[in-house]
């Protein structure tokens, strides 16, 4: 069976935390579709084109990873790409509460779609995109928080 997982998120921007979850999940699936959700009401801090380009740069040498954008319901997108799994990361109890609600709703709408959670490694459990955006907005150095392969592209 071809095991396809969708890793949905804003990736605004991608951090080492996201990268770590994706790399750890690689042995579990045949394909991981890193899917950047487009929100018509919220533009995002970094333009969508840049977020896609950065993701494609990071995973250029990994044939099991595809990078795409989508709009609408995540379950509809999973159906469209033939994914049986949603991949998400868990950092804190707050993540758990939030993800539990979404996971249960997705399951109610599409029972054969399983959400797989990977618990964040300790070094990345305090890392989130909104803090990285805040540092960037105020001219701080974000290089420690974004993937190594982006250092020249983003900073």
Region from 42-50, 61-69, 77-85, 125-133 binding ligand ADP, contact rule CB under 6 A? 125-133
Q: Phi/psi at 61 (nearest 5 deg)?
A: -95, 10
Out of 75, 113, 127, 146, name the contact with ligand ADP by CB under 6 A. Answer: 127
Pattern 77-106, binding to ligand ADP, x per CB under 6 A?
A: -----------xx-x---x-----------
Report if residue 11 touches ligand ADP, rule: CB under 6 A: yes
Region from 65-73, 76-84, 108-116, 120-128 binding ligand ADP, contact rule CB under 6 A? 120-128
Question: Is there a catalytic annotation at residue 91?
Answer: yes
19/1 Cα distance (integer angstroms)? 25
Region from 59-67, 108-116, 122-130, 134-142 binding ligand ADP, contact rule CB under 6 A? 122-130
101/40 Cα distance (integer angstroms)? 23
Report if residue 18 touches ligand ADP, rule: CB under 6 A: yes
Greatest Cα pair distance in the chain: 48
Binding interface with ligand ADP (CB under 6 A): 9-11, 15, 17-18, 21, 88-89, 91, 95, 120, 124, 127-129
Catalytic residues: 18, 42, 91, 129
């Amino acid at each position: 069976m071809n095991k396809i997982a969708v890793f949905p998120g804003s990736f605004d921007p991608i951090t080492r935390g996201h990268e770590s979850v994706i790399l750890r999940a690689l042995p579990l699936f045949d394909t991981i579709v890193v899917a950047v959700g487009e929100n018509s009401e919220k533009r995002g801090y970094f333009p969508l084109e840049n977020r896609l380009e950065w993701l494609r740069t990071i995973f250029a040498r990994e044939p099991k990873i595809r990078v795409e954008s989508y709009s609408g319901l995540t379950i509809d997108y999973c159906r469209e790409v033939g994914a049986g799994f949603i991949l998400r990361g868990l950092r804190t109890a707050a993540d758990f509460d939030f993800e539990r609600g979404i996971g249960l709703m997705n399951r109610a709408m599409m029972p054969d779609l399983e959400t797989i959670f990977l618990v964040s490694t300790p070094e990345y459990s305090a890392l989130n995109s909104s803090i990285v955006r805040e540092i960037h907005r105020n001219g701080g150095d974000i290089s420690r928080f974004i993937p190594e392969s982006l250092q020249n592209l983003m900073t």
